[in-house]
Amino acid sequence: MSTQKVLWLPKIGAQFTLGRNAIPEPSPGEARVTLKASALNHMDIKEYPIPPNLSYEEAASILIAFAPFAVATYAQRPQGIALTPPFEEGGLGKYAGRPIVIFGGAASVGQQAIQLATLSGFSPVITTASLHHEDLLLSLGATHVIDRKLPNGALIKRVRELVVAPLGYIFDAVSIKDTQHAGYALLAPGGTLAVVGPPQVGREDDGSGKQVTMVLGSFHLPPNRALGATFAIALTRWLQEGKIKSNRVEVVPGGLNGVMPGLRQLARGVSATKLVVCPPETIYV
Ligand SMILES: NC(=O)c1ccc[n+]([C@@H]2O[C@H](COP(=O)([O-])OP(=O)(O)OC[C@H]3O[C@@H](n4cnc5c(N)ncnc54)[C@H](OP(=O)(O)O)[C@@H]3O)[C@@H](O)[C@H]2O)c1
């Protein structure tokens, strides 16, 4: 069997090693070519997607949690409300003095929403969560954490005590009936309530001009791609600088065998953490 020289990359981040392997025989319709020379490229040495201070597990948790608020807030209408993103000229801190309520601050989506809202300057940043998550959420930028188990009437009263300016934008990272009702009641006329699941309020025009929009938090949708490309650059920098923190992650053991138990755990409910599976850990039996 004739062999050829090859350069192996045993794993990501490792050194190239020289070796040999069999020269494959071309199938009908294929041709065998001899490589005489190859130009070296910067792409061969640069390290992308992930900043060095982030594990693969943390990196895996980011985008799905980050995109909903990013799209709802900064994408062009009707996908979002077209605010200036914090990486654009004049966008950082631009919305100082505008209050925001984020339902479900401890949810993965909520944690990223709090951090982006803080970069945008919203103040106060009011969120609802179990109070044992208060320290975590204050560290992410929330200014007030309200007990998520309060009845809606008490919760609405507490928010109203905290805001002075009209609540023109509310983001609901939970989007069950109760949170949507509270969000809609708190919203100022003409404001927007962004929900991450099917809207259950505001389906009939009540003359208030309140908008309820369901966010599709994906940068892969054609209208969101340009925003996603610029966010990817800013997000990498913010993660590196510690301006955005990844979610807490919990690795479900067993690699791909962990997917089903992980989904069952997700259905039972997780608290301020993102479940992650690592396919290379899969053991074949
Ligand atoms: N539309 C989209 O593009 C999109 C994209 C991603 C996710 N989603 C949706 O967004 C939602 C959140 O996803 P996720 O991954 O962030 O969820 P998650 O992290 O699994 O959410 C769990 C967290 O939600 C908190 N929570 C539950 N009920 C609450 C309530 N009534 N008020 C306040 N907090 C409450 C829990 O609090 P405790 O800690 O107190 O238990 C827990 O910390 C899901 O419904 C998901 O399907 C939508």
CB atoms within 10 A of CB 2: 6
* Mean pLDDT in residue range 2-29: 86
Residue nearest to ligand 1 atom 34, measured at CA: 104
**Considering its fold, how many domains does the chain have in total?**
3
Q: How do beta strands 274-276 and 249-251 pair? A: parallel
Which residue among 148, 156, 171, 252 has the greatest number of ligand 1 atoms within 8 angstroms of its CB, and so is best to mutate? 148
- Distance CA(210)–CA(133), nearest Å, equals 31
| pLDDT tens for each residue of 149-185 | 999 999 999 999 999 999 999 999 999 999 999 999 9
- CA distance readout (Å), 257 to 12, 206, 264, 284: 23, 50, 12, 9
Ligand 1 mean position, distance from CA 172 (Å): 9
Ligand 1 mean position, distance from CA 96 (Å): 26
- Distance CA(114)–CA(141), nearest Å, equals 6
Ligand 1 mean position, distance from CA 173 (Å): 6
237 and 260 both lie in a single domain: no
Q: What percent of the chain has pLDDT over 70?
A: 97
Ligand 1 mean position, distance from CA 92 (Å): 26
Whether residue 49 lies inside any domain: the answer is no
Ligand 1 mean position, distance from CA 161 (Å): 25
- Distance CA(70)–CA(176), nearest Å, equals 21
Whether residue 62 lies inside any domain: the answer is yes
| pLDDT tens for each residue of 50-81 | 888 899 999 999 999 999 999 999 999 999 99
- Distance CA(96)–CA(117), nearest Å, equals 10
Phi, psi of 114 (to 5 degrees): -60, -45
197 and 81 both lie in a single domain: yes
Tokens for 49, please give them.
């997607």
Ligand 1 mean position, distance from CA 45 (Å): 39
Of the candidates 189, 144, 150, 184, the residue with the CA atom closest to the CA atom of residue 163: 144
Ligand 1 mean position, distance from CA 99 (Å): 21
126 and 37 both lie in a single domain: no
**What's the mean per-residue pLDDT of the chain?**
93
177 and 198 both lie in a single domain: yes
Whether residue 155 lies inside any domain: the answer is yes
165 and 276 both lie in a single domain: no
| pLDDT greater than 70 at residue 258 | yes
130 and 233 both lie in a single domain: yes
Q: Which of ligand 1's atoms lies nearest the C-alpha of 266?
A: 20
Whether residue 51 lies inside any domain: the answer is no
Which residue among 108, 116, 127, 213 has the greatest number of ligand 1 atoms within 8 angstroms of its CB, and so is best to mutate? 108
| Domain interval for residue 216 | 56-241
Q: Which residues line ligand 1 (CB under 6 A)?
A: 64-65, 68, 103-104, 106-109, 128-130, 148, 173-176, 179, 196-197, 215-217, 269-272
224 and 253 both lie in a single domain: no
12 and 95 both lie in a single domain: no
Residue nearest to ligand 1 atom 48, measured at CA: 196
256 and 166 both lie in a single domain: no
163 and 126 both lie in a single domain: yes
34 and 173 both lie in a single domain: no
Question: Which pLDDT does position 275 carry in this prediction?
Answer: 96
What CATH number is associated with residue 139?
A: 3.40.50.720
Tokens for 249, please give them.
């992650």
Residue nearest to ligand 1 atom 24, measured at CA: 107
Question: Which pLDDT does position 222 carry in this prediction?
Answer: 95
| pLDDT tens for each residue of 110-154 | 999 999 999 999 999 999 999 999 999 999 999 999 999 999 999
119 and 253 both lie in a single domain: no
Q: Per-residue confidence at 38, pLDDT binned at 50, 70, 90?
A: confident
Greater confidence (1 vs 25) lies with 25
